[in-house]
Every structure is written in C-alpha cells, then in structure tokens.
Amino acid sequence: MAEKKDNLKAEKSGVNIRDFWLHLWTLIVPFHGQIFGVLVLIIFAEIVKLSGPYFLKLIIDNLMAFDATRIKEILIFIALMFASNEAGSLLSYVIDGKMFQILGGINEYIPHQALQKLLSLPLGYHEKENTGNKVVKITRGVDKIDSLLGNLSWEVVPTIFQIIFTAAVLLFLDWRFFLILLFFIPIFVFLTLKVNKEVYPYRRKRFMSQDESAGVMAQAIININTVKSFVQEKKESTKFQKIISQVKDNIWLEFSRIIKYNVKRNFVIDVGRAFILVAGFFLVWKNSMSIGSLVFVYTISEKALLSLFRISRIYDRVMESSEAIERIYSLSLEESEIKNAKNGFKPKNIDGQIEFKNVTFSYSDSTQKALNKVNFSINAGCMTALVGPSGGGKTTVARMVYRHYDPTKGDVLLDGKKLQEYDLYAFRKFIAIVPQEVEIFNTSVKDNIAYAKSNASFQEVQAAARIANAEEFITQLKGGYETLVGERGIKLSGGQRQRIGIARAILANPRILIFDEATSSLDSYSEKLIQEAMDKIVKGRTVIVIAHRLSTIKKADKIVVLEKGKVIEEGSHFELAQVSGGLYQKLIKLQEVGDVD
Ligand code: ADP
C-alpha cells in the first residue's frame, strides 16, 4: 500500500532533476577532471565556430560595396573563414577523441564497480533480488550513462554555449534580435518541460513492463525443464506477450504525445525565424544594418534555434535515462549488513572450535526466530551432525558459521574469539562447504574443481577428483577434465555435481568442512560414492554435517537436534537413541520404517 502511494507520488512529480544530475555526477567521480577539460575545449570550440559566419558577414559586406581595392581584404577574410572552419573541425576532433576516452573509461569503471559492489554484498541481499533483474539493471544503467554523456558532450553542452554566445553577439549587434531570441527560448523550454511531465507516467510504466517482461522471460528459460515437461510453453509465451504488449501500448501513449508537441515546437521555431527575418528586413530597409550583418544574424540564430530543437529532444532522452541511472546509483549506496572489522584478526591457522552462545537470529523479512537462544559447541577435529525437521534452523547455523549473517543477539565464536573480530575474508578461507545444490560454472570440469585454488596442478585436481569418487565419470566424459559442463552444470547429474563439489572442497583443504544435506537428494549408488568420499576427507577436520540419513548421522561424534530454532537434544547417537520419547528416537524409528529418509 505504502509502496503504491510512493509510486503515485513519483509519477506525479517525475524525477527530481537536481538529484538526478548530482547522482550521475557522483557515479563518475574519477572522470571529473577529464570532463572539466573537455568542457573548456567545448567552450573554446563554440567561440571559434561563431567566427566563421562572422567572416562571411565581412565578405558579403565587402562584396556589397565592391571595388578593386577590396580584393585583398576579401581574400584574407575567405582565408580566415576557412581557417576558422578548420580550427573548429580540429577542435571537434580533439573533443571527440577525449570524449571517447572518457566513455571507454566509464564503460570499464561502472560495471566493474557494480560487480564489486554486488560481490561484496552479503547473501541476505542476493536472496532478496532476482539475478536477471540485477544484471539487466547494471547493463541498462551503463548503456544509459554512456548515451547520456555522449549526448551531453556532443549536443547539449555545445548547444547551451552556442545559445549563450549567440545571445551575447546579438545583444552586441542589435538588442532587438536579442529580444526575439529571449522571447522564444522560454516558450520552447516550457513546451519541452510540459511534454516531459505529461509522458513521465507512461515512460515509467513502460520501464516497469519491460523489467517485468525480462523477469518472465528469464524465469521461463531458467526453468525450461519444468516448462517443457509440463507442456507450458504456450502459457509462458502468452504471459510474456501480455506484458510486452503493454510496453507497445505505452510506447504509443508516450510518443504520440511527444510528436504532437514536436509540431508545436516546430511552430515556435518557424515563428522565431520569421520574426528575425522581418526585423532584419526592416533594419536593412532603414539602412541601420548591412546585408552581411543580416546574413550573420540569420545564420547564427538559425543554428541556435535548430540546436535548441535538437536538445529538447535529447532532454526527452535524458529523462528516459534517469530511471536506469537512479538504479545504478541506489546500488552504489547499498550497504553491506555484514561489516568487515577494520584490522580484523587474520589467523595463520585455526583449530576450528566453534561455539554458539545464546544465539538468536531472525531473517530480516520474517517475524519468526530462525534460531532462538541457541547454545552448543562444535568441537575442533570432530564431526558434528545437525539434525531435525525441515525449517528447524540447520542451514541457518551453517550460514552463521560463515558469517553470512550476524546473530541478532548472542555470539558465534571461533577458537574462542567472536567472528566479528576476524577479518571476514581471512577466516572464511579456512572453511569449505558442499551445499545441497553445488553451483557449477560454465567452464571445464577441471576449472570447476580448482575453483578455490586456481593455481592447482593437474595432478592435484586429479587427486582431489579421485578422493571425491569423481574420476570415474570425468574420464568417461568426451573431453575428460577439459569438458565444458554448461551453465549451472546442466550436463551433469545431481550426484556428479555433488562429487565435483566435494573435489572442490578437498582442493580448498579447509579446517572446517560443512556438508549441507549433501546426499539427501541422491540415489543410493551416488550416495554410497559420496559417503565414501566424505569418509576419506573428514579426518582431522572440524566437520559439520546437516544430514537426514541415519548412516551419516551415526558416524558423528556429536548430534545436535534442532527444532523450531531451538536445540532440543544434544549428544552421541548412542546417548540420544536412549532418550525415550525424544525427537531423535522418533526420527530413527521413522527412518527404520522408511517414512523419512
Ligand atoms: P533447515 O535448514 O533446518 O531446514 P533453515 O535454517 O533453512 O532450516 O530455516 C530456518 C527458518 O528460517 C525457517 O522458518 C525458514 O523458513 C526461515 N528461513 C530460511 N532462510 C530464509 C531466508 N533467506 N529468508 C527468510 N527466512 C528464511
């Protein structure tokens, strides 16, 4: 409700122009110096460009009162006019070159900054935002900044100076021309602002529909398997078409207004032109102005009026860009909830003793406590299993060990020190996780395994794959270790992805190893292979397993049973199996009858 209200408010008022320019300016901080340099060159170029028509005026005046003595003068003026035109074109060349350098730099700088920002933001942020949207926002924002700055430097800024200088020259020549210009410019500006205000809501709707359609398309493609299996191609295509046709409607609503205003704006220019000619004709008739001066006045004011028309259209485009640029700006302001301590402790090695002390935690968009006053320890060098019903808080515990989230209350300690006191990146290096869904990059199998250790030798990768029981299937792939595994590892089965995940964790050689339901969705053969692989690598490490299967849990030195965010039982398999009526005992019984895996 509140959001709707905000939208309406924004639709009515449009984008706050001053903020917009300020935000754009802050986004391109490293380029300020270069931009000022180009600005000075543009001013200089506009002055030089005005001198061409002035020499033409001198030539015409001399021609009107022609006699043989003026030949030399005329030739000199022709040469000067030529020189001024050439100087203008040389300056344009330098300005263009500088501008392309700036634009190139911005194309490198902004996306890089944006990616760095996205990578630095915690998991919590990424869980809220849709991947397709984030990437589209950045690329669209960069495109818009690029075209906006191009337009500004090639059209808007030169035109503004052109108009200022033209007005100054007209004032100097004859105040009446100056007044004509002064009268028409505000009418023109008024019409431009008006049309923009009118089309803003349609433009905004168009952007929103475009974003929505991109989201629908991305979802359909990401979930292509489900779409095809359930024969929902038509539904997806219709859904997309419905949204995209709103884009079409809004384009017409928007541009039909713009072209109507274009007719009005053209009319204003034509009237201005006629006024200047009438005034000029009158002055020439009364002998208070030479024909050369009339040509000069007409040429420069014609140029100024035409440029005005051009920039008013660019203004439309500037407004069109504002939304996309605002988004990049708001990303740049996004702050990480997980603050990395300044001069945080960077351990050379760790034991891997973890302690949860009175930890309470709720996800930001949830009123429920995912963990509620939780106390337990995960002993160094031992295997601890986290068990319990779904939603109990097991994954949340694993995330807190990584410090993807900070506790709302209480502390998580590593080797007796609060996690917040460590340098975030230093302590994370000692941890590796084999998640439920191993993420696979669209590179070779080898690079996927060596992800955390890119300088690993082939022998090391091979050894890790062997321990992870992955070698057998890898050698059967057509390209062996060099096989490209496709986006999100689509060419690999679930069990194969898991084994790549395990090999990846082995190469990282962590002190703390987390398995997040690594075997829960696998067939029994894959599970056996993975169990074996796990057994080989757990020795001498602190291991946390989030597990459902009794076979895995039994091996743990300690079992922590979590339900609704609370630790309700804690002990070895043997101990907990004795607690009559305990949740653990119930879980064992259910597994024995095969209800729950
Ligand atoms: P488990 O791993 O035991 O299934 P989780 O740790 O995933 O449990 O979840 C604990 C609670 O936190 C659940 O109520 C779940 O709905 C909630 N939860 C988990 N992840 C998020 C999230 N990213 N945002 C909001 N709530 C979440």
Number of helices (H), then strands (E), belonging to the chain: the values are 21, 10
Give backbone dihedrals phi and psi of 515, rounded to 5 degrees, phi first.
Answer: -110, 115
- What residue type is 81 in one-letter code? M
Q: How far is the CA of 558 from the centre of ligand 1 (A)?
A: 23
Distances (CA, A) of 237 to 217, 224, 240, 245, 577: 9, 12, 5, 12, 54
Evaluate: CB of 393 within 6 angstroms of ligand 1. yes
Q: Closest ligand 1 atom, CA of 565?
A: 10
Query: What per-residue confidence (pLDDT) applies to 520?
Result: 60
Residues 6+ apart with CB under 8 A from 220: 227, 236, 240
Ligand 1 pocket check for 391: Cβ under 6 Å: yes
Task: Give the pLDDT score at 567.
Answer: 94
For ligand 1, whether the C-beta of 101 sits within 6 Å is: no
Whether residue 225 has its Cβ less than 6 Å from ligand 1:
no
Ligand 1: which of 387, 396, 399 to mutate, most ligand atoms within 8 Å of CB? 396
Q: What is the pLDDT of residues 480-538, one digit of tens each?
A: 999 888 766 667 888 888 889 989 998 988 999 998 876 666 677 777 777 777 788 88
Place of tokens 């024909």: 291
* Residue 592: per-residue pLDDT: 66
Does the beta carbon of 362 lie inside 6 Å of ligand 1?
no
pLDDT for 450: 93
Q: From 395, 408, 562, give the residue whose CB has the most ligand 1 atoms within 8 Å, as the site to mutate.
A: 395
Q: In whole angstroms, what is the distance from residue 291 CA to residue 297 CA?
A: 10
For 365-412, how does the pLDDT look when each residue is reduced to its tens digit (9 = 90+)?
788 899 999 999 999 999 999 998 888 999 999 999 999 999 999 999
pLDDT less than 50: residues of the chain: 1-13, 595-597
Cβ atoms of 12 and 131 within 8 Å: the answer is no
Distance CA 319, CA 337 (A): 32
Classify the phi-psi angles of 388: left when phi > 0, otherwise alpha if psi is within -120 to 50, otherwise beta: left
Can you tell me the distance from the alpha carbon of 169 to that of 183, in angstroms, rounded to the nearest whole number? Answer: 16
